[in-house]
Amino acid sequence: MARRKMSSKYSSAFRFRVALAAMRGDKTVAELCQEFSLVPSQIYAWKKELEERGAEVFETKSPESAHKVEVEKLHSAIGKLKVENDFLEKALASSR
C-alpha cells in the first residue's frame, strides 16, 4: 500500500519554536510533547532538521540578493526582446 504524504499542518514558526525548545534542553521531550500536543518522533525530527539546516540562516546569500539577481536577468531578457522587436518592426515596415 502506498503511503500518502500529509501536508504540513504546523507553521514553520511553530516547528522552529518546538525544535528550539528541544535543543535548549530545559524540558524533557515528554514535557514538550504534553506542552505542544505532539509525539516524540515529531519533536526529534524537527530538532534534527534544525541541527542540520540551521546554518542556512547565516549563509551570505540572502533571499533578497537572489531576488535582485533574478530581476536583473529578467530586465536583461526584456531589453534583448525589445531590441529584437524594434528590429523586426523596422524590417517589416521597409518590406512594405
Angstrom distance (rounded) from CA 46 to CA 61: 24
Asked if residues 66 and 72 have their Cβ atoms less than 8 Å apart, the reply is no
What 3-state DSSP class applies to 50?
Answer: helix
Give pLDDT, residue 55: 84
Note the pLDDT tens digit of each residue in 57-84.
777 666 677 788 889 999 999 999 999 9
| Cell representation of residue 27 | 524540558
Considering only residues 32 and 2, tell me which one the structure prediction assigns the higher pLDDT: 32
Residue 8 has pLDDT above 70, yes or no: no
Write the DSSP string, 55-87: GGGG-S--HHHHHHHHHHHHHHHHHHHHHHHHH
pLDDT digit string (tens) for 11-22? 989 999 999 999
pTM above 0.85, yes or no: no
The contacts of residue 35 (CB under 8 Å, 6+ apart) are 27
**Residue 1 in this model has a pLDDT that exceeds 70:** no
Residue count of the chain, please give it: 96
Q: What average pLDDT does the structure give for the chain?
A: 86
> What letter does residue 37 receive in the DSSP assignment?
T
pLDDT for 62: 66
* Residue ranges of domains in the chain: 10-59, 60-96
**What is the phi/psi pair of residue 38, to 5°?**
-125, 165
